[in-house]
Amino acid sequence: MTVQETTPQEPFGARLRRAMDARGPLCVGIDPHASLLHAWGLEDDVAGLERFSRTVVDALADRVAVLKPQAAFFERFGSRGVAVLERTVAEARQAGALVVMDAKRGDIGSTMDAYAAAFLDPGSPLFSDALTVSPYLGFGALEPAVAAATANGCGLFVLALTSNPEGQEVQRAVREDGSTVAATVLRHLADRNAGAEPLGSFGAVVGATLGDLSAFDLAVNGPLLAPGIGAQGATPADLPAVFGGAVRNVVPSVSRGVLRHGPDTTGLRDSAISFADEVRSAVG
């Protein structure tokens, strides 16, 4: 598959700010897990995967700000599933959505270089607008991804305060200087985004279900990808209490709450528009 981009783009943060202002602050996940395929009347195979992904892209890519395919649900089908992911990314971007690849990659040295090349190099068939990454081999180990994102107008969303209970044993652990690991990640992001306008390109993943986060400085001058809206229990009305003064930079992420309305195209669109309107109303 030929990828169009060969030169650096406008920074991701600027493109994201414009997309959210124009289309509404919402990210819809593309999570084709087996139970959802079956709920749509599809088989849990590559043909079902293809039909599911194309339906979501056709319904939403020209009207939502961000689409977020979860790489694992495509990779489980091997090379044929990855081929579907390549087409999904390309078609979503061509229709005007920003694509965040939810792959949560994190490694060191040449391996991190390779992950960056796979998702953040314009010559790659998986080239995406942004990538989720894990900082738990040390934030500095992400430097190849940071460099690639900077060079190619892409962004990163770094795991900081995730909604799964197991995450707390690492993210809220206290370092020798008295700061938590999550606070350290957020500080690194603020440093990377310093001076960026209208929004930095290096964001954090912060769960919308976590309640009061006033102990953490979420003002990183970058986007905050917030999973947990919809089926996981959080609502748009919860966002101001969770994110405080940083709420305008939140990118709420909903998957099942929208996808359960498929395969009907109108149902998918109406649900996404409703969520985006609720978020707009909640965050002002």
What's the pLDDT at 4?
A: 47
- Classify residue 17: in a domain, yes or no: yes
- Classify residue 3: in a domain, yes or no: no
Return mean pLDDT, the chain: 95
Q: Which residues contact 261 (CB under 8 A, 6 or more apart)?
A: 267, 268, 270, 271
Q: In the chain, what is the greatest distance between 2 CA atoms, to the nearest angstrom?
A: 54
3-state SS class at 172:
coil
What's the pLDDT at 8?
A: 59
| Tens digit of each residue's pLDDT (9 = 90 or more) over 241-255 | 999 999 999 999 999
What's the pLDDT at 9?
A: 80
Residue 202 has pLDDT above 90, yes or no: yes
| Tens digit of each residue's pLDDT (9 = 90 or more) over 98-144 | 999 999 999 999 999 999 999 999 999 999 999 999 999 999 999 99
Pairing label, strands 224-227, 250-254: parallel
- Classify residue 105: in a domain, yes or no: yes
Report d(CA 71, CA 81) in Å as an integer.
9
Residue 256 has pLDDT above 50, yes or no: yes
The model's pTM: 0.96
Q: Of all residues in the chain, what percent carry a pLDDT higher than 90? A: 94
Residue 104 bears catalytic tag: yes
Structural domains of the chain, count? 1
- Classify residue 163: in a domain, yes or no: yes
Amino acid (one-letter) located at 127: F
- Classify residue 136: in a domain, yes or no: yes
Question: Catalytic pick from 54, 104, 248, 260?
Answer: 104
Report d(CA 206, CA 242) in Å as an integer.
10
Q: Which domain holds residue 66?
A: 12-283
- Burial (Cβ within 10 Å: 0-12, 13-18, ≥19) of residue 7: exposed
Residue 56 has pLDDT above 50, yes or no: yes
Say if CB 199 and CB 65 are below 8 A apart: no
- Classify residue 2: in a domain, yes or no: no
- Classify residue 5: in a domain, yes or no: no
What's the pLDDT at 194?
A: 98
| Tens digit of each residue's pLDDT (9 = 90 or more) over 153-187 | 999 999 999 999 999 999 999 999 999 999 999 99
Give the domain CATH number at 182: 3.20.20.70
- Classify residue 44: in a domain, yes or no: yes
